Chain A
Amino acid sequence: MDRDRRKILRYIGKGSVLAAFLAQIGAAGRAFFPNVLYEPPSRFKLKKPDDYPDGYTLDEAHRLYVIRQKDAFHVISAICTHLGCNVQWRDTEFDCPCHGSRFRPDGTVISGPAPRPLDWFATTVSPDGYLDVDSASDVARNFRLVIGGKGKA
């Protein structure tokens, strides 16, 4: 009986030292997953709707295209769904300079390696009159933000 008890105590002793060792390795590894990220928010304001001309306008800082058709606006991501390069609008289609993906004006794939269409972002007008884009969203391809009355916005 006594020997069994010693054996168990020995296992507990060795086991706890080993557990502490492994836990510290785990803790050190956990440090590499940041808790605080100093990254720009996924929802941001662009310019006022009337600052955009008709057609496709690239917003370089946010890597997206603002598309205006008279009073209707929508926003398409410029980030290729294949491997994240910036696609370029070339009058009739979007083309990617990294791996050659091609997209229609609505962002659907014509050809190339892109596995899915370009994202469409939910867009609203902020109370102070700016376009407000949520880049974490993906809205349907018939989404339009219609702004009634010229110059009102």
Chain B
Amino acid sequence: MGGKIKAIWRKTSWAWSPESDRESSEAIVKNFWLHWFPAKVARASMDWNYSFWLGTASASLLLILTVTGVMLMFFYVPSTERAYGSIKDLQYAVSFGRILRNQHRWAAEGMVAVVYIHMARVFFTGAYRGDRAINWVVGVVLFLATLFLSFTGYLLPWDQLAFWAITVGTSIAKQAPFVGPTIQFLLLGGHEIGQQTLLRFYVLHVFFLPVFVWVLFAYHMWRVRKDGGLAAVERVRNARVMVPKATPKTKSYSLFGITPGTSVQVMSSTGLEESDQVFSSPNMSRRIALVFLVVFNLTLLAAILFNAPLEGLANPSVTPNPAKAPWYFVWLQELVASTTVRFGDFTVSGALLGGILLPGFLLGVLTLWPWLDRSPQRAEGRWLAPERKRQNATFAVATLAIIILIMVGVYLRGPYWRIYWPGQARPETPRLY
């Protein structure tokens, strides 16, 4: 009996501590669970301080969010009358419901941050050249999808944050040229926020967006393999390229006789050498497991220590004062609040300029960056290569500007969205909601 179970286990699992090269490769090629990994990977891409394993951390967060999200679906009711109550129940009545919701919330906020930092890592290592440009674009779309998932997610508790975020968010969408009002009508399922609105955002959040992200994530992974692994491989490869020796003029035989010139010769080794590679099992599989466990435990710790925010029940009559977006959207709130421009009688609303045109421009530049980048190939796969000084400075300055806007929004904005310096008294405002 015991032997039989062991045999089935061996057939369906793999050697966790392979004792031979054969066992290592069989863990990949003879096994369903790991078959999407290559049997061998470049040693350079296993470095902790090249990639910081941020992509793996993002994927871990996606997995945590999917599992906790599906569990939350057993408790949440997408109805304007019962949604808020079901969140309160999770927080106070369901055993460990608080942990479940908290972990979902902190993993979501973590994912926004980690996906962005992952993108920054790819940028600062110049890892989007050549064929990798496609994966860069896929990554930008994934980042955008992460933001949409986050947005649709915090609408579901149907608290004040949710209601006023939908109000402002769909009002921004309405400002889009030509199609704006139609998009708003479609998102709201009418002219006003109501049951249809909640249901639409719910289905987007629990089905369409997650499926979209998982499919695109799978493609993202597949492309990493097709592009030959992480760009760190290119650094190794560049170092291995042998400079061709100055060859003496030779004579070679062509169809019509002897022609002068140089003969064919091997100039470089194109692939990685045996010593540059390690087996994916256990070198990669163990690291992935470790990263997942660390990420899981960090989100769990956050879930135990801090409660996810929940404002009062949605109230169309009273706007919170000030009404602040979550930190990762506050910079956009700063933009829409300060980019209205007036030329005499002609006004361009900040909703269009700061809410659509400016973010759209930033997104466009970000997407097309691989084709705008003129840095030399030798800068690929290296952190902060001096050849890419200007590119890296541009990215850093843009990131810093966004961080400053976030800081201003989160810490300095008070009632009626005025600036209050630290220590400056803030006026009492009625809190009716």
Contacts and interface: CB of A to CB of B under 8 A. Distances in A.
B186 to A, nearest CB: 6
Contacts of A83: 167-168, 171-172, 336, 351, 355
A61 interface: yes
Nearest to A81: B349
Nearest to A102: B416
Chain B interface size range: 35 or more
B194 A32 contact: no
B350 A99 contact: yes
A118 to B, nearest CB: 14
Given A83-B168, A113-B339, A114-B340, A98 B318 contact: no
Nearest to B354: A113
Contact of A60 (B186, B191, B317): B317
Interface string A78-96: 0000111110100000011
B167 A33 contact: no
A106 to B, nearest CB: 17
Interface string B279-306: 0000000000000000000000000000
Interface size class of A (residues with CB under 8 A): 20 to 34
Contacts of A61: 317
A84 B316 CA distance: 11
Nearest to B167: A84
A100 B318 contact: no
Interface string A115-127: 1100000000000
B186 A82 contact: no
Contact of A34 (B196, B333, B350): B196
B317 A95 contact: no
Given A33-B185, A38-B194, A98-B417, A113 B322 contact: no
Contacts of B318: 60, 86
Contacts of A116: 347
Given A63-B317, A98-B322, A98-B323, A115 B189 contact: no
Interface in A48-106: 60-61, 63, 82-86, 88, 95-100
A37 interface: yes
A96 B171 contact: no
B387 interface: no
Interface of A: 32-34, 37-40, 60-61, 63, 82-86, 88, 95-100, 112-116
The 8 closest A-B pairs by CB, nearest first: A100-B417, A60-B317, A99-B337, A97-B321, A115-B349, A113-B350, A113-B340, A83-B171
